Amino acid sequence: MRSSLYILLKSPKFMIGVCLLFVFFAFIVIYPMINTNDPLEMVNMRFQPPSSKNILGTDGFGRDVLLEMAHGTRTSLTVGVISGLIATTVGLIIGIFSGYRGGIVDEILSSLTNVFIVIPSFIILILVSVSIQAKSVFIIAIIIGLTSWPWTARAVRAQTVSLRNRDHVNLARISGFNTVKIIVFEILPYIMSYVVMAFIIQLASGILSEASVSMLGLGPSNTISLGIMLNWALLQEAPLFNAWWTLIPPALTVALITFSFYLINLGMDEIFNPKIRS
C-alpha cells in the first residue's frame, strides 16, 4: 500500500491532477471567506466586463461572477461527490454479487445492467428531472447516482469474475467462510484500486451530468451551479453581448475539473495496470 502511494506521488499525471484539484478546492473554500456576500445579490448592472469592482464581471442578473463561481463550483463538486458515491456503491454491490454468484443471479443482474447501459441514462435523467418540481441539490445528485451505476457494475463484475477462481478465494471458500466475508476480505482488497478509479470517473461524470441537466433548465432550484450559470448565460443572450466572462470561466472550470480527475485516474491506471506503464 505504502509503496503504491509512493509511486503515485512520483507520477507526473497524478500529481498534476491533484494539484489542479487542490487549486480549485482552495478557491472554493478560501474565497467565500474573503467575500462573504450573498452570491445571489445584484451588485451591479448586468453584463459588466471584468473590473476592479467585479473581478470576473457580472452576469445577466447583475451578480458577481467570481463569487458565483466559488459557490457554483462548490455545488457542482457536491453533486459530483454524492452521485459518485451512490453510483459507485450501487454499482459495486450489484457488480460483486453478479460476478461472484454467477448463474441465474448473474444472468439477471447482467441483463439489467446492460439494459441500463444501452438505454441512454441521460434521457431517463431528463424525464425524471422534469417530473419532479422542486429539486434540491441532493435530489439531483441522487437521481444522477441512480442512473449512472451500470458502468461501474459492469466493470466490477468483470473484475470479480476473473478473481472468483483464484486460489486464495477457493481456499477461503473451502475453509467455510460465508459469502459476505469472502467478498469483503478476499475479493474487495484486490479490486480496491479499481473501485477508487471507478469512483473518480463517476464523480467526474456526475459533475458533467449535473451541468448538462442544469443547462437545460432542469437543475436544482434556487442554488447556483456551474451548469446553471451556463444556462442563464445562454438564455440571456450572453454571446450577443460579447460577455465571454459569463460563459468561458464556468465552461473552463467544468473542463478543468474533469480534466484533473481524468489525470488522477490515468496516473493511477499506470500504477495499477503495469502493462500500460510507459
Partner 1 sequence: MNNYRKYFLKKGIWYILTLVIALSLNFYLPRMIKGNPVDSILSKYKSVGNTDTRKKLYETFTKEFGLDKPLPMQFLIYLKNLTKGDLGTSIMMYPKKVNAVLASALPWTVGLQLPAILCGWLLGNVLGAFAAYKRGVYDKIIFPISLFVTSFPFFIFSIILLYVLGIHFELFPIGGGYDYNLIPALNFEFFKSVIRYHTFPFLSIAIVMIGGQGIGMREMALYELNSDYVKYSKFLGIREWKIIQYVFKNAMLPQITGLGLSLGTMVSGALITELVFNYPGVGTTMFAAIRNLDYPLISGCTLIITLAVLLSNFIIEILYGIIDPRIKSAQLEDS
Partner 2 sequence: MLAGCGSKSNTKSADVENTTKTGETTTEKTQNEKTAAENKTDDLRKETLFITGLEWGPPSSFNYFTGVASFPVNNQNNMLVYETLFMYNGLSGEIEPLLAESYKWIDDYTIEVKLDKRAYFNDGEPVKIEDVIYTYELGKRYDILWSSLWTYIDSVESKSDDTIIFKLNKKDYNILAVTESLTNVPIHPKHIWEKIEKDANYDISEINKFFNESPVASGSYKIYSYDDTKITLVRDDNYWGKSKFGKLPAPKYITHILFKSNDAASLALKRGDLDYSQNFIPNVWKMWEDGAEVRTYLEEAPYYLSDSMPSIYFNLSKPGLDNPDVRRAIAYAIDYKKIIDIAMNGYSDVVEPALTVNNELESKYIDKDAIKPYQWKYDVDKANEILDSIGAKKGDDGIRVLPNGVRLGPWKLECPYGWTDWNATLEIIQQSAKKIGIELETYFPEDTVYENDRNTGNFDIVMSTPADVITPAQPWKRAHDILSAKELPPFGEQAYWNFGRYKNERAEKILELIPAEKDIERLRKLYTELTIIYLKDIPTIPLMYRPTYFFTVNESVWTNFPHENDGTGIPPYCFDGAGIKSLYNLKNK
Partner from partner 2, partner 1, none contacting 62, C-beta within 5 to 8 A by type: partner 2
Shortest spacing between CB 248 and partner 2, in angstroms: 17
Q: How many of the other CB atoms lie within 10 Å of CB of 55?
A: 14
Out of 29, 40, 108, 184, the only residue in the binding site for partner 2 (CB under 8 A) is 40
Rounded to an integer, what distance in angstroms lies between the CA atom of residue 165 and that of residue 155?
Answer: 17
| CB-based burial label for 225 (10 Å; 0-12, 13-18, 19+) | buried
Shortest spacing between CB 46 and partner 2, in angstroms: 5
Classify residue 264 as left (phi > 0), alpha (psi -120 to 50) or beta: alpha
Provide the 8-state DSSP code for 220. -
50 binds partner 2 (CB under 8 A): no
45 binds partner 2 (CB under 8 A): yes
Residues 89-148 that bind partner 2 (CB under 8 A): 133-134
Shortest spacing between CB 232 and partner 2, in angstroms: 8
How far from 214 is each of 99, 125, 207, 248, 267, CA to CA, in Å? 35, 11, 11, 16, 30
Out of 26, 162, 239, 252, the only residue in the binding site for partner 2 (CB under 8 A) is 239
217 binds partner 2 (CB under 8 A): yes
Amino acid letter at 11?
S
Nearer to partner 1, 16 or 43 (CB): 16
Nearest-5° angle of CA 103, CA 113, CA 195? 95
Rounded to an integer, what distance in angstroms lies between the CA atom of residue 231 and that of residue 68?
Answer: 13
Kindly state the cell numbers that stand for 260. 484533473
- The footprint of partner 1 (CB under 8 A) covers 111, 114-115, 117-124, 126-128, 130-131, 133, 151, 208, 211-212, 215-216, 230, 234, 239-240, 242, 244, 247-248, 251-252, 254-256, 258-259, 262-263, 266, 275-276, 278
Shortest spacing between CB 133 and partner 2, in angstroms: 7
Nearer to partner 1, 4 or 114 (CB): 114
Piece of the chain touching partner 2 by CB under 8 A; list 38-46, 74-82, 164-172, 196-204? 38-46
